[in-house]
């Protein structure tokens, strides 16, 4: 790959042979540190393919990333950069699983530059036939994050996965309880049931705080790490407010 920011000298030669016409595309540059003349060339079966390769090399010199590399290689280069801004205590694990177990097996062998709305739509069709709604939503969400990075790197002009993330129906229908272990199938039907559940937690735990945790989790949508980080000073019973200032993760505290 050419170094970032170098100016490329490009030429394409046509050669006739016993196996037909071949196109030799070559790019050369002067290394910015050693000042040595360097280059690379590839053989192609058509002028269009040769020009596409030259365009990729020029793009790599501008961005430092090859738009023609497979999505799996691009994700490996990204590392966890796609996860900036998401909660490491909750959404990271399901998003990461969606990337490893669905996005890369389905799309990882394809070049980043070939990611289109139609291609992604067909991939989502496959996931919807096999997985529930939460699984498909998490998978689409991580694909959106990865392709956002591709847009920032200049490999795509816009993110083709964002439109697909707005589907009205995502994943298999819950009718027929195709996935009885889904959390949505275990939702509490009413407040009375929640109160009985909280009372059972107090009885089993031997302290009122267990029931309070159940009530808070069910009525505030806080994460369990946030509830675990609450202190008495964070609770204002007079105004009915909870101040979420920290998270408690295992033995440590994330502020």
- For 158-192, how does the pLDDT look when each residue is reduced to its tens digit (9 = 90+)? 999 987 655 554 454 444 444 545 555 567 778 88
pLDDT confidence of residue 64:
66
Distance separating alpha carbons of residues 255 and 228, to the nearest angstrom? 12
pLDDT tier at 14 (50, 70, 90 boundaries)?
confident
Q: Residue 253: is its pLDDT beyond 70? A: no
Q: Report DSSP letters for 123-180, one per residue.
A: HHHHHHHHS-HHHHHHHHHHHHHHHHHHHHTTS-SS-THHHHTT-SS-SS-STT-S-T
Q: Over pLDDT 70: what percentage of the chain?
A: 85
Mean pLDDT, all residues of the chain:
82
**Alpha-carbon torsion 153, 159, 161, 167, what sign?**
positive
- For 185-211, how does the pLDDT look when each residue is reduced to its tens digit (9 = 90+)? 567 778 888 889 999 999 998 998 888
- For 42-97, how does the pLDDT look when each residue is reduced to its tens digit (9 = 90+)? 888 888 888 888 887 877 777 666 667 789 988 988 888 899 888 787 788 899 99
- For 134-151, how does the pLDDT look when each residue is reduced to its tens digit (9 = 90+)? 899 999 999 999 999 988
Would strands 247-249 and 241-242 be described as parallel, antiparallel, or unpaired?
unpaired
pLDDT confidence of residue 217:
87
Instruction: Tokens 């170098």: give the residue.
Output: 6
Distance separating alpha carbons of residues 39 and 222, to the nearest angstrom? 56
Q: Tally helices (H) and strands (E) across the chain.
A: 10, 7
Q: Report DSSP letters for 72-135, one per residue.
A: HHHHHHHTTGGGTTS-TTTTHHHHHHHIIIIIHHHHTTSBGGG--HHHHHHHHHHHHHHS-HHH
Angle at 136 between CA 131 and CA 137, to 5 degrees: 150
Q: Residue 215: is its pLDDT beyond 60? A: yes
pLDDT confidence of residue 165:
52
pLDDT confidence of residue 255:
38
pLDDT tier at 16 (50, 70, 90 boundaries)?
confident
- 3-class DSSP state for residue 53? helix
pLDDT confidence of residue 250:
58
Distance separating alpha carbons of residues 224 and 227, to the nearest angstrom? 5
């Amino acid at each position: 790959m050419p170094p970032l920011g170098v100016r490329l000298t490009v030429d394409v030669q046509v050669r006739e042979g016993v196996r037909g016409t071949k196109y030799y595309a070559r790019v050369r540059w002067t290394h910015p540190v050693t000042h040595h003349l360097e280059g690379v060339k590839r053989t192609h079966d058509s002028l269009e393919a040769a020009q596409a390769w030259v365009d990729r090399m020029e793009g790599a010199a501008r961005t430092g990333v090859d738009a023609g590399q497979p999505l799996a290689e691009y994700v490996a280069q990204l590392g966890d950069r796609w996860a900036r801004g998401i909660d490491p205590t909750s959404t990271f694990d399901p998003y990461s699983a969606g990337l490893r177990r669905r996005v890369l097996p389905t799309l990882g062998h394809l070049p980043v530059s070939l990611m289109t709305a139609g291609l992604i739509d067909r991939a989502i069709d496959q996931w919807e036939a096999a997985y529930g709604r939460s699984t498909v939503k998490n998978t689409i969400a991580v694909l959106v994050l990865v392709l956002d990075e591709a847009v920032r790197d200049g490999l795509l002009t816009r993110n083709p996965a964002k439109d697909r993330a707005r589907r009205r129906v995502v994943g298999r229908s819950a009718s027929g309880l195709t996935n009885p272990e889904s959390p949505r199938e275990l939702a509490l039907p009413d407040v009375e049931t929640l109160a009985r559940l909280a009372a059972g937690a107090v009885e089993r735990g031997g302290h009122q705080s267990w029931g309070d945790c159940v009530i808070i989790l069910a009525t505030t949508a806080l994460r369990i790490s946030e509830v675990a980080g609450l202190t008495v000073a964070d609770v204002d019973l007079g105004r009915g407010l909870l101040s979420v200032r920290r998270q408690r993760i295992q033995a440590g505290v994330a502020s």
